[in-house]
Amino acid sequence: MPSRARSALFVLMAGLLGACASSPHVPQAAKAPRAPPRDEATASAIEHVLAGAHRAAEDRARDADRHPVDTLLFFGIKPDMTVVEVWPGTDGWYTEVLAPLLAERGKLYVAQPAAAPGNTFVTGNLKAFADKLAAHPEAYGKVEVTTFAAGNSAIAPASSADLVVTFLELHNWMNLGIAPEAFAAMFTALKPGGILGVVEHRGDRSKPQDPAAINGYVNEDYAIAMIEAAGFELVARSEINANSKDTKDYPQGVWTLPPSYRLGARDRAKYEAIGESDRFTLKFRKKG
């Protein structure tokens, strides 16, 4: 090809390439969504509470397994929110964090099981929790205790809560047959657009879910379907509380692991090395 023709061809190709590069019809690579900045002010406030004198040494020891700062930040907590904690458990572990955090500018409702005079387990737990609150009024003096049980779902004034949280209690509600009622109560308490945060022992997805969750584990997709059926939409999942060492096949279910150690001294070192259970951490929004 003559040099003049080659030059003309190169000019033509350069023009075409330039036109393609500037054409509005050429798709551009989508930018990845930017993660929201970490709320350092709230993180600092939570860390201050975790260092408080109201917390026992055995509760502090669990911080590394329970990741309270990252878990509460994932749920979007702020110190000026109205928050409901449903069934704080035998030790009120998260109440220790939530109550002082919300005492000055927010509000905390703690929904307990109903009193059961003939049940020594429930009676003992309710008394232990009441004693805990009374022992440290500087930390717990503004907590308002309510009740969640079958037929009693007024865990907080309707549409008053910015955030409802529950930690390792879903399996108990499934065992009692009141899980749908629990999530209905949470839905009622939340403001439209309010957030529900759920942490639970994560089951083996290769096995069908036991509706009564006898071993204490709940399959993540099973939980999501149940909660969405109550009117919530899933916002995000987190692996904050994951533990890949948990094989989920123990003689006494999840309670074989720390902190329960239901087998006592038997194979304790083995279960101590595994640590606390593998857990899913889910964030939902109330529709409407």
- pLDDT value of position 158: 97
Decide: 203 and 249 in contact? Cβ < 8 Å. no
Neighbours of 78 (CB within 10 A): 18
User: What is the percentage of the chain residues whose pLDDT exceeds 70?
Assistant: 88
Whether pLDDT at 245 is above 90:
yes
Q: Which of 19-28, 94-103, 271-280 bottoms out in mean pLDDT, i.e. has the lowest?
A: 19-28
Confidence at residue 233, expressed as pLDDT on a 0 to 100 scale:
98
pLDDT tens, residue by residue, 34-90:
667 899 999 999 999 999 999 999 999 999 999 999 999 999 999 999 999 999 998
Tokens of 142: 């503004």
Domains of the chain: 38-286 (3.40.50.150)
Could you give the CA distance from residue 153 to residue 155 in angstroms, rounded to a whole number?
6
pLDDT at 137 over 50: yes
Q: In the chain, what is the greatest distance between 2 CA atoms, to the nearest angstrom?
A: 104
Provide the H-helix boundaries in the chain: 3-22, 40-50, 57-60, 63-66, 68-75, 95-102, 120-135, 137-140, 170-176, 179-189, 220-229, 268-274
| pLDDT for position 57 | 95
pLDDT attached to residue 35? 66
Report how far residue 261's alpha carbon sits from residue 271's, in angstroms, rounded to the nearest whole number.
8
